[in-house]
């Protein structure tokens, strides 16, 4: 498997995860905290298992472990912002804004990692990022007024993801992608549990309708998610981070396809706004993303 194929497969898996996240956090759980508490517990279990199977390499530079922790903190912050936004807006509008981050990654990689891209590759990164942003420009109704501060937070989430990818690439110079996975599992899992372990949150989970069915669906989602995460780390370890990140940003295209299919098959599964003009805007933008990804794949 090439790094490009691994990145595209990761994007497909994580698009499905985004769809399930949106359904669970907006339709099943009464708050973000009640949603992330079981996720945090699952990630802590992952961290323990993978840590025992893949300890840190001998003689590793301790500072790189700190970089891995920093990367995990940045990614955790981005995920929390994204999940909170999914409670208020449809998934096909939230994910594109967040995954416009390749433009930030390219600049950071150029400045700090000395990666050099051709003009064609720079153009491809720009097309992918522009297409993702264009999807978010269509105005759709929301369950609550998103307001300018929340929109700014979404772009901040995008910036955090960019910084997380760049620091991940630096940590992967000595750590394996398995090491990076369990570091992130501990950081994200521990943060989620510390942030959410409250008596009121436990009461919310206990009051869930079809509680065990919902928790089983969440557990299934958290089995799928590590597959996408590990594939993305493997791709970063074997390819230039700016191009890997651009390929990962095809996730909004796949999210839109999945959401559109669900809007016809299961209209109540997701929050979905109707309107031909908005749909056309999203289709044009996703075509830009496909074109950018194709250029990257052919020139990588």
Query: Mean pLDDT by 10-residue block, N- to C-terminus, for the chain (300 residues)?
Result: 89 91 89 94 95 91 93 95 85 78 72 76 81 66 46 82 86 89 95 95 91 91 89 84 76 83 78 66 77 68
Residue pointed to by tokens 């590590």: 226
Q: Which two tokens stand for residue 246?
A: 């651009």
Residue pointed to by tokens 């794949």: 297
Q: Which two tokens stand for residue 129?
A: 């990022």
Looking at residue 257, what is its pLDDT?
A: 85
How far, in Å, CA of 288 to CA of 8, rounded? 16
Residues 6+ apart with CB under 8 A from 293: 8, 124, 128, 246, 247, 250, 253
Looking at residue 67, what is its pLDDT?
A: 95
Looking at residue 188, what is its pLDDT?
A: 96
pTM beyond cutoff 0.75:
yes
Looking at residue 72, what is its pLDDT?
A: 95
Residues 6+ apart with CB under 8 A from 92: 135, 252, 255, 256, 259, 260, 272, 282
CA atoms lying within 13 Å on the CB side of residue 145: 3
How far, in Å, CA of 90 to CA of 22, rounded? 8
Is residue 148 a contact partner of residue 17, using CB atoms and an 8 Å limit? no
How far, in Å, CA of 39 to CA of 42, rounded? 5
Looking at residue 183, what is its pLDDT?
A: 96
């Amino acid at each position: 498997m090439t790094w490009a194929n691994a990145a595209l497969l990761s994007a497909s898996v994580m698009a499905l995860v985004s769809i399930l996240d949106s359904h669970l956090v907006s339709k099943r759980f009464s708050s973000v905290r009640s949603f992330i508490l079981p996720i945090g517990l699952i990630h802590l279990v992952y961290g323990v298992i993978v840590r025992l199977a893949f300890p840190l390499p001998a003689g590793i530079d301790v500072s790189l472990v700190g970089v891995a922790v920093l990367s995990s903190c940045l990614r955790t912050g981005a995920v929390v912002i994204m999940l909170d936004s999914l409670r208020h807006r449809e998934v096909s509008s939230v994910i594109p804004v967040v995954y416009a981050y390749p433009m930030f990654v390219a600049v950071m990689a150029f400045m700090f990692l000395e990666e050099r891209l051709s003009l064609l590759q720079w153009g491809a990164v720009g097309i992918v990022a522009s297409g993702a942003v264009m999807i978010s420009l269509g105005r759709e109704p929301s369950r609550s007024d998103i307001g300018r501060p929340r929109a700014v937070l979404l772009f901040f989430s995008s910036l955090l993801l960019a910084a997380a990818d760049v620091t991940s690439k630096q940590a992967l110079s000595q750590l394996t992608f398995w090491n990076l996975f369990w570091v992130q599992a501990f950081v994200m899992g521990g943060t989620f549990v510390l942030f959410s372990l409250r008596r009121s949150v436990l009461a919310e989970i206990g009051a869930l309708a079809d509680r065990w069915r919902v928790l089983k669906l969440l557990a299934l989602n958290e089995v799928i998610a590590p597959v996408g995460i590990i594939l993305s780390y493997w791709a970063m370890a074997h390819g230039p981070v700016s191009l890997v990140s651009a390929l990962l940003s095809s996730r909004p295209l796949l999210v839109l396809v999945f959401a559109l299919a669900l809007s016809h098959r299961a209209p109540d599964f997701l929050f979905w706004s109707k309107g031909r003009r908005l749909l056309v805007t999203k289709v044009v933008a996703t075509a830009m993303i496909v074109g950018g990804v194709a250029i990257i794949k052919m020139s990588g």
